[in-house]
Amino acid sequence: MLARWRGLVALGLALVTGQGAWAQTANPMLKAHAAGIRDAAHERNVSLGRLDIAVEQLGSVVETTISAAFVNPEAAQLEGDFRLTLPEGAVVTGYALDIGGQMVDGVLVDRPRAKAVYEARVRQRIDPGLAEVSADNVFSTRVYPIWPGRGRTIRVRFVAPVGAGGWRLPLGFDGAVGDWSIRIHGSGTVAKPLVTLGETPLAITTDGEGWGGVVSGKDRPLSGALAIAPARAADLVVSTHHNGERDLELGGDLPAVTGNEMTPAHLRIYWDRSRSRLKADTAREIAVVRATIDRWHPAKVELVAFNSSGAQTKSVTTAGEAAAWLGALDYRGATGFAPLSLGGPADRCLIFTDGRATIDRDATITPRCPLDVVSSAGSDDRAWLGHLARVHGGQLILLGDDPAAALALLQAGGPGVIAVTDRDDRPLPFVQLATAQGRWAVLVRAPGFGPVKIRLGAGQELIRAIDGGGETPAFDGPGALLAQDALATLGATEQRDAYVALSRRYGIASPSLSFLLLESVGDYLNAKIDPPATLPSEWRDDYARQRKAMEADDARIAQRHFDQLLREWQDEVAWWKTRFDPAARPNRIATSRSFDRTGPPPTTVVTPPPMVNVPSAAPPPPPPPPPPPAPEIFVMSAPGAPPAPAAPPAPRISQATDNIAVTGAATRMTPAAPSVQIDAWQPARPYLELYDGKPADFAERFREAEARHGALPNFYLDTAAWLARRGRVAEASEMVLSALDLPTADDTTLGMVADRLERYGDWDRAVELRERQAVLDPDRPQPRRLLALTLARRAAVRPAQAKADLTRAITLLYEVATSPQAESWDGIDLIALNEANAMLPRLRKLGGKVEMDPRLVMLLDVDVRVVIDWTTDGSDMDLWVDEPTRERAIYNNNRTAIGGRLSRDMTQGYGPEEYMIRAAPPGTYTAQADVFAPDRIDPNGATILTAHLFRNFGRANETVDSVDIELKRDEKGARMIGRIVVPGKPVSSRIPAKDAVPLP
């Protein structure tokens, strides 16, 4: 029967197996940059002086240690980038860097925090090391400095299983390596395996402890994959992890299958069509679908293509129909598994996916059928996919180099091992290993006492005695793979504390946890990161003493912060109570050259509010000369309080100037409402021009553009904005969610996508992404503040959950305000406290309350408020607002004569900065962002600055408009945000300023 099965699929696979061949690319890759500035102009030469690869195999698991010495031929210090594509299923378990001639291990830190600490040290010219693992199975490290003449050395360690197709580490370095060596040793196999480097077999010899071999070279290229062919492991292999736990590898023969093959009458195929699968080996997967349908001939075949937008379904009767429909799908949106719960019962289900959920991660998955999972790429989340299959009565099928073998597993039906327990039937953690046909193998955490029970899918139960005596080899591989399997059930953010604790126990890096290594005890103290255990003992003792002293001082620091906050809040309340003379003489006229460029004044569009009988107001005076040309600006109107439940209507466009004019409602103290003008200039993107050329052909032109530009999040954000401007909001949401599925997506991407989803009315997903960003980046206050603001905006459109959302939002903001923050974020406390107070009246109307110090409670509503924040660290952005009197509110003139108030200058990145004026005199208020010092080493390149222009902040008729401005790496100077026009007759400012007096 197996021969018939293999023959059936041979033709279907012949045309596509070549597509799975490994392309010869540089691995590892090494680059260097001067001064840590990561662009082409600062690229420098660097080479590998030495590369040592040590491979240890025990049973079916391989642990690899790579040491690489960088050589810097330049005269200046360099930052090095080292990238290594890992074997399938690899788990990185260690990273070290030489400091003072000694290899020191890195410690696992939340990725955003690790990146921020590393880059701060690079800016200070202090030794740091950063190592990360991407979702597509690539290890990368950034090292600074690489010394001229001396270089630096790194060490990385990882473990991986030997799959059904073997173990493979691709190698191919551009240029010669000074010295290189490969040492391999193994045990726990029935016979020594075939080991090759490229096409050349390595000489493998046996000894009393196993088998091994060595190969080396000098001053010549290293190319060709290092590969270990599959070999049968012993039925029992015992090892001890460095943390003291014992692990087992158990294996054996599966019982022979008797009787006729069970064929389903109703077959359902779930097909992941999210963006992450754009480059998947779908041709081979479709061949599997064809072969399966041709083999089973089910009476009903149901195809379900799913992504973040839901499911598309198709019923077919033939394998050809199925292949044609699946082959025509577009791959777009984020990966979410909620649609798997929508179908009715079926006899059997298959799912083709990478298993990397990027949205709706708390969705319950309840397919009403036995579910087999097919994985075609080593970068798939196979730990989670294995759990998905086991929970739903199926098996994980790896579509490796021998698809016919994978199909035979599918035909056999039922997993090899369905449970492993101790002698008292308590479940033991286990991971199934890929094996040859007719075999089973698992990794198991050894019980404290007694034998192990193994329950097979065929109903058979085996009992294996475990020898508790004698020494066992020290080997971390099985323990790391078991831990990685457990991490898949926790989720990177859903159970964060448990996830981090387990990762650190086994030293496992992941896309959300990076290895960070610092130079001194002071660096670890300043970063509040515990140093590694391998740090010299005198360093650790010094750290412990200083850390204890710092903790004893925490209470005093908290009280000092609160006292300072109280004084500053009282000062802000006093400002708000002050009546300022609208005709006061300006303190500082806006006379900078960058601002006073001549040009025609913009057309002002002001619509008076309905139902207000007032005399016609005189037109406002001409605004001051316009600022320099706007940068790449993406304009999306965002609802304020209360926001619209769906996407906002398209803004009104002034044909004369291409300015967007959005008119607010009337205020309590002015005869007509302020209006906002935002320059709607389009970014110069070739793909947007391509879409504009023929909008009717968008689908075809998008595919063309995606092939060239689809590696960066901004491509999907730009395209989403293009769709939204044409009223295609559902497509815009799907498009922007695609950015989450990129291998480069990080916590910054979460925030960017969340911001767009808010504007498209997808509140729940916006909150989900803000929650994840706050969990992944717990040290910065900005993610918690942005989460609070998103919750408050959702509360305005979701009455049923408004009380809970507002309670949490105010609590978050109050915590941000009252908790001591790093000096870099000085000023965010007052802004957060102001925002919390603006929400309190809404919560009180709902019968809710939040415990706040009464001295910090007061609503400071204002006519005009402008807030900016941005996406990069190390960036100094300055908010400028030019008032109708031509006085500029700026960091060195943060209190204006007519009552404008500017928050503290946030010089280190992210923001926010805030401008407010309680009683705004008539005229034009022009907001700009000055790029004083852009971040030149952030790998994301461009900075996205978001500005929010409020009218009637803190009042029932509050409205807000938002604008995103892209700031390229080397751009400096003023950038236009927008204008707020307060209607009415301007007040002359020729009279001397009068003393301000408090309002009654």
Cis peptide before 145 (omega within 30 of 0): yes
The terminus-to-terminus CA distance of the chain in angstroms comes to 94
Q: What is the mean pLDDT of the chain?
A: 82
Rounded (10°) angle between helices 747-759 and 782-797: 20
* C-alpha span between 714 and 723 (Å, rounded): 14
Point out the least confidently predicted range of 41-50, 652-661, 678-687, 708-717.
Answer: 652-661
Closest CA to 748 of 910, 868, 964: 910
pLDDT at 478 over 50: yes
What does the block give as tokens for 600? Answer: 């025609």
pLDDT at 469: 61
Please state which of the ranges 368-372, 632-636, 738-742, 921-925 shows the lowest mean pLDDT: 632-636
Q: Is 901 within 8 Å of 865 (Cβ atoms)?
A: no
Inform me whether the pLDDT recorded for 664 exceeds 50. Answer: no
Classify burial at 730, counting beta carbons within 10 Å of its beta carbon; exposed 0-12, middle 13-18, buried 19 or more: middle
Tokens matching residue 7: 């023959």
pLDDT tens-place string over residues 668-705: 333 355 667 665 445 678 999 999 999 999 999 999 99
Q: Which residue did the predictor score with more confidence, 974 or 298?
A: 298
Which pLDDT band holds residue 158 (cuts at 50, 70, 90)?
A: very high
Alpha carbons 250 and 454: distance in angstroms, whole number: 9
Distance CA 491, CA 785 (A): 24
pLDDT at 736 over 60: yes
CA-wise closest residue to 927 among 480, 627, 649, 616: 627
Strand, coil or helix: what is 805? helix
CB contact set of 681 (below 8 Å; sequence gap of 6+): 629, 630, 632, 633, 658
Work out whether the CA dihedral 540, 546, 549, 551 comes out positive or negative: negative
Q: What is the mean pLDDT of residues 58-67?
A: 97
Dihedral of the CA atoms 729, 734, 736, 741 (nearest 10)?
Answer: 180
Computed from CA positions of residues 256, 260, 266, 268, in that sequence, does the dihedral angle turn out positive or negative?
Answer: positive
Residues 426-460 pLDDT 10s: 999 999 898 887 889 999 999 988 899 999 876 78
Please say whether the beta carbons of 131 and 514 come within 8 A: yes
Per-residue confidence band for 409, with pLDDT thresholds at 50, 70 and 90: confident
959 Cβ contact list (under 8 Å, min separation 6): 639, 640, 662, 664, 665, 950, 951, 952
**CB-neighbour burial class of residue 987 (10 A; exposed 0-12, middle 13-18, buried 19+):** middle
Task: Please report, for residues 79, 102, 114, 209, the alpha-carbon distance to residue 68 in angstroms, rounded to integers and kept in the order given.
Answer: 15, 14, 22, 28
Exposed, middle or buried by CB within 10 Å (0-12, 13-18, 19+), for 811? Answer: middle
Higher pLDDT pick, 29 / 3: 29
What CA–CA distance (Å, rounded) separates 570 from 404?
A: 75
Residue 456: partners with Cβ closer than 8 Å, 6 or more residues away:
254, 255, 416, 417, 418, 440, 462
Question: What is the spatial distance between Cα 72 and Cα 80, in angstroms, rounded to a whole number?
Answer: 9
At a CB cut-off of 8 Å and minimum separation 6, what does 418 contact?
390, 455, 456, 457
Token pair recorded at residue 168: 């493979």
Cβ burial of 471 (10 Å; 0-12, 13-18, 19+) is: exposed
Say whether pLDDT at 15 is over 60: no
Note the pLDDT of residue 454. Answer: 93
Residue 993 banded pLDDT, cuts 50, 70, 90: very low
Tell me if residue 189 falls in helix, strand or coil. strand
Question: Which amino acid would we find at residue 281?
Answer: D
Within 10 angstroms of residue 922's Cβ, the number of other Cβ atoms is 21
Q: How many CB atoms lie under 10 A from the CB of residue 42? A: 16
**What is the Cα–Cα distance from 201 to 295, expressed in whole angstroms?**
39
Q: Which of 130, 135, 326, 85 has its CA nearest to residue 740?
A: 135
Which amino acid appears at position 101 of this protein? G
Residue with the larger pLDDT of the pair 634 and 782: 782
Tell me if 833 sits within 8 A of 797, measured CB to CB: no
- CA distance linking residue 795 with residue 798, whole number of Å: 5
Q: Which of 6-15, 116-125, 257-266, 874-883 has the lowest mean pLDDT?
A: 6-15
Please state whether the peptide bond connecting residue 642 to the residue before it is cis, i.e. omega within 30 degrees of 0: yes
Closest CA relative to residue 757, chosen from 222, 259, 359: 359
Range with the poorest average pLDDT among 11-25, 794-808, 885-899, 927-941: 11-25
Q: Among 7-21, 307-321, 783-797, whose mean pLDDT is lowest?
A: 7-21
Inform me whether the pLDDT recorded for 553 exceeds 70: yes
Residue 640's pLDDT is what?
33
Confidence of residue 970 (pLDDT cuts 50, 70, 90): low
Percent of the chain whose predicted confidence (pLDDT) is above 70: 82
Question: pLDDT tens digit string along 187-222?
Answer: 999 999 999 999 999 999 998 889 999 999 887 778
- CA 957 to chain CA centroid, nearest Å: 36
Q: CA–CA distance from 406 to each of 286, 375, 422, 697 (Å)?
A: 14, 10, 30, 40
Write the DSSP string, 524-587: HHHHT-PPPTTS-HHHHHHHHHHHHHHHHTHHHHHHHHHHHHHHHHHHHHHHHHEEPPTTPPPS
Peptide bond into 912 cis (omega under 30): yes
> 504 vs 619, which has greater pLDDT?
504
| DSSP H helices in 710-781 | 713-725, 729-737, 747-759, 763-776
Compute the residue count for the chain: 1000
CB contact set of 512 (below 8 Å; sequence gap of 6+): 110, 111, 492, 493, 499, 776
Nearest one of 38, 47, 138, 123 to 88, comparing CA atoms: 138
Could you tell me the sign of the dihedral formed by the alpha carbons of 836, 838, 843, 848, in that order?
A: positive
DSSP for 938-992 reads -TT-SEEEEEEEEEEETSTT-EEEEEEEEE-TT--EEEEEEEEEE-SPPPP--SP
In this prediction, residue 667 carries a pLDDT of: 32
CA distance 507 to 290: 42
Taking the domains of the chain in order of start, what are their residue ranges? 2-12+253-484, 25-231, 568-611+628-987
pLDDT of residue 651: 31
| CATH 2.60.120 describes domain 25-231 | no
pLDDT of residue 146: 85
Q: Between the CA of residue 543 and those of 69, 95, 121, 551, what are the distances in Å?
A: 29, 21, 19, 12
DSSP state of 8: H
- Round to whole Å and give the CA distance between 298 and 275: 30
Rounded to whole angstroms, the Cα distance separating 538 from 435 reads 48
CA angle, residues 274, 276, 277, in degrees to nearest 5 = 75
Please give the Cα distance from 13 to 405 (Å, whole number).
Answer: 12
How confident is the model over 211-240, as a mean pLDDT?
91
Return the HEC string of 286-308.
Answer: HHHHHHHHHHHCCCEEEEEEEEC
- The SS3 assignment for 248 reads strand
pLDDT at position 679: 53
2-12+253-484 under CATH 1.10.3720.10, yes or no: no
- Residue 316 CA to residue 326 CA, distance in Å, equals 11
Largest CA-CA distance found in the chain, in angstroms, rounded: 103
Look at residue 4 and tell me whether its pLDDT is greater than 90.
Answer: no
